[in-house]
Amino acid sequence: MDILQPQSKLNKTNPLSHKLQKLLSISLENEQTKEAFKELSTFYTDNTAVARRNLMNNIEQQEMLINNTFLNSLKKVNDEVVLLEKELNSMNSMFNEMANELTDKKNNMKHIIQQTNILNKQKTQLELKKNISETFLSKFTLTEEEINCLTVRGPLERSFFEAMTHLQKIINDCQILLISNNQTAGLEIMDKMSGYQEKAFENLFHWAQAETRIMTKENPEITSLFRDALVVLRQRQVLFQLCMDEIAQIRKEAIVKSFIDALTVGGPEGIPRPIEFFAHDPLRYVGDMLAWIHQTLASEREMLQGLFDVRGKKMENGEPVTSTADQEYYDDMEKIFTIVPDNKTIIELLNKILEGTCRPLQVRIEQIFKSSNLGVVEIYRIYSLLQFYHNTIENVLGSEAFINVSLQKLIEKALEIFYNNLRIQGEQLLEYSEPISNDLQPSSILKEGIMQLKDIMASYDTSLVSNNDKEAGFSEILSLLIDPIMQFVGLSSTNLNKYDSAIYMINSLTLLQNTLNQYSFTKKSAEKLNVEIGVYIDILIHEEYINILNQSGIESIIHAAQTAIRENKPPQSLQAMQIKNINESMKKFDEFLCSVNLDLSRNLMTLSQTELAVEIGQKGITQFIQNYEELYNYLMDSANGYVNTSSEGETLINLHTVQELKTLLCLNTDTI
């Protein structure tokens, strides 16, 4: 312990120990230390005692070398900074001189700048006035090209109508000037533009008149320029009407020529054949002529609609065929002119165009009416045909059209002839005498008249008369047809006995009723016949009852019983009501019941309706059974002395009950 103690003191006081400890505490991992040693290795190459002694000196010399190098570098920089300062001072002085000069110049140019600003303002105002003037001139004046288009006569192009649109717009705008403070300018411009406009309308009218020559063709091709011309001419109604009259006259002549050719020449190479080739068939002849006129009306109407269809609005796949440029052009035109097609003008033109066909049509149809070969049905079919086309054309042209007036006259003539023929035919029918057949069926002349009625009703049913008006419209014709038939049937049956007359009347009236029931507008007349048919059915029922009663063998006792009841007499006071006579009558009645089937079938077999014959037979039997029931009840009444008699007197035998009689007669009448 004592040995170590001095050692400890040495450590604390010895500088070398202290330095050694300091060196040992240095961390070799420090980056600065590494850099220091790395720099030291550049000039400390030998690890000798001399080198170690001179290390500090070498380091200080190295430091001085570095500082000298740094000072030299700073000196250069300082020299440059000094030079820069001199340059900056020079530039500063120059800038000051320039600023002073600018200040002087600005003071000197202030008046010029003010003058320049004034001129700029004046320039702006002049440019605005220039723009206003140019806009005014473009709005209220025409270009040289537009003036030439409007005033120089010659073929027209789209540019003419564009210039006319511009001209009309200028005139419309002048109306605004006239109600403003610029009346003088408005009047001057209006006067000048009006002169151009009158000249333009004159040129347009002459060009349009020349263009109407294309309308002479059968199917004229209407150009868009001609459509535009009509739109513009509409602003001058007199000129427009002159063009319309020219078109109507040209088309009228063309249609008349085509109609005459269709009547006499036919189509190319004779196909289709001339309409007059079928003059022997009046109905087809009239129908072909009216169909040709109706077809022509449709084609002419389509042509005129195309003539006024300025935009060319015919559609293809749902889209207008006009281009976008055309649409813009017509949009601009529509703002100035009315380009909507005028349906009234089209109707007036169609009326005038078809006027030429009236005379040829009327003459030929009247010639048919003069023919004595026309039957009632045929003349009525011609009347229906005329009425149909009259109504069809009236829907397009109206009732005042020339062609409709002609058709109305022909309709009245046809109806007059029809009514006259009906009256004559009715008179002839009443004068006609034809023996009735043994089967009591309607005569051939009657069937012919009813067939004629059916044909007329069929023709009337196809007419355009509404269902509500058909009955009233056909009433007069029906009366003229049915009344002679009814009178003829009545006169024909006068020579028959009451029974056969009733059957003949029922057969004839039933045939007429079945015909009338086929159409709704004659059903009421058919129902009215039920009353007359019912009268004759009642006659047959009564005759059938009388026939049964006469054949039954009990006629005398039924009449006697009715007399006793009516006169309140004792029944046996009458000879026929004595028990012996009653029994003999009942014996005959039994014999009748065995043969009643054959007799009934033979009497009603001539009725055309089997069901009606069965019904009449059953009702006759029913009436007979009712009278028999009265007789039976009368005989069974104890107060009359026919029942509960003494065993010594006579009693009633073979007396059938009412139910037995019903059973027997019903079985025997099943086959009627």
Q: Is 385 found in the same domain as 301? A: yes
Ordered alpha helix ranges (H), 141-218: 144-151, 158-178, 183-211
- In angstroms, what CA-CA distances link 110 with 98, 102, 106, 123? 18, 12, 6, 20
Question: Is residue 427 assigned to a domain?
Answer: no
Q: Is 608 found in the same domain as 472? A: no
**Number of neighbouring beta carbons within 10 Å of residue 562:** 14
**Number of neighbouring beta carbons within 10 Å of residue 278:** 16
Closest CA to 424 of 374, 384, 367, 364: 374
Question: Is residue 275 assigned to a domain?
Answer: yes
Number of domains in the chain: 3
Question: Is residue 59 assigned to a domain?
Answer: no
Q: Is 371 found in the same domain as 243? A: yes
The position carrying tokens 């009353």 is 531
Say if residue 322's pLDDT is above 80: no
Which of 539, 573, 591 terminates a domain? The answer is: 539
Question: Is residue 42 assigned to a domain?
Answer: no
CA 67, distance to chain mean position in Å, is 113
Say if residue 405's pLDDT is above 90: yes
Which of 510, 539, 568 terminates a domain? The answer is: 539
**Model pLDDT, residue 481:** 82
Question: Is residue 165 assigned to a domain?
Answer: no
410: phi > 0 → left, psi -120 to 50 → alpha, else beta; which?
alpha
**Per-residue pLDDT tens for 618-667?**
888 888 888 888 888 888 877 777 775 544 556 777 788 888 888 777 64
Q: Is 286 found in the same domain as 398? A: yes
Say if residue 328's pLDDT is above 60: no
Q: Is 609 found in the same domain as 527? A: no
Per the structure, the complete domain to which residue 512 belongs is given by: 432-539
Say if residue 318's pLDDT is above 60: no
Q: Is 379 found in the same domain as 261? A: yes
Q: Is 260 found in the same domain as 291? A: yes
DSSP state of 276: G
How many whole angstroms separate alpha carbon 214 and alpha carbon 191?
A: 36
Contact 597/648 with Cβ under 8 angstroms? no
Which of 513, 539, 565 terminates a domain? The answer is: 539
The position carrying tokens 């005692």 is 49
**Per-residue pLDDT tens for 91-102?**
998 999 898 888
Please indicate whether residue 305 or residue 30 has the higher confidence score (pLDDT).
305
337: phi > 0 → left, psi -120 to 50 → alpha, else beta; which?
beta
Q: Is 570 found in the same domain as 511? A: no
Q: Is 622 found in the same domain as 495? A: no
Provide CB contacts within 8 A for 217, sequence distance 6+: 254
Provide CB contacts within 8 A for 600, sequence distance 6+: 544, 548, 617, 620, 621, 668, 669, 672
Q: Is 449 found in the same domain as 407? A: no
Q: Is 355 found in the same domain as 249? A: yes
Say if residue 326's pLDDT is above 80: no
Question: Is residue 450 assigned to a domain?
Answer: yes
Output the pTM of the full model: 0.64
Please give the mean pLDDT across all residues of the chain. Answer: 80
Question: Is residue 283 assigned to a domain?
Answer: yes
Question: Is residue 583 assigned to a domain?
Answer: yes
Q: Is 533 found in the same domain as 442? A: yes
**Per-residue pLDDT tens for 469-521?**
777 778 888 888 888 888 888 888 888 888 888 888 888 889 988 888 888 88
Cis peptide before 360 (omega within 30 of 0): no
How many whole angstroms separate alpha carbon 628 and alpha carbon 585?
A: 13
Contact 557/585 with Cβ under 8 angstroms? yes
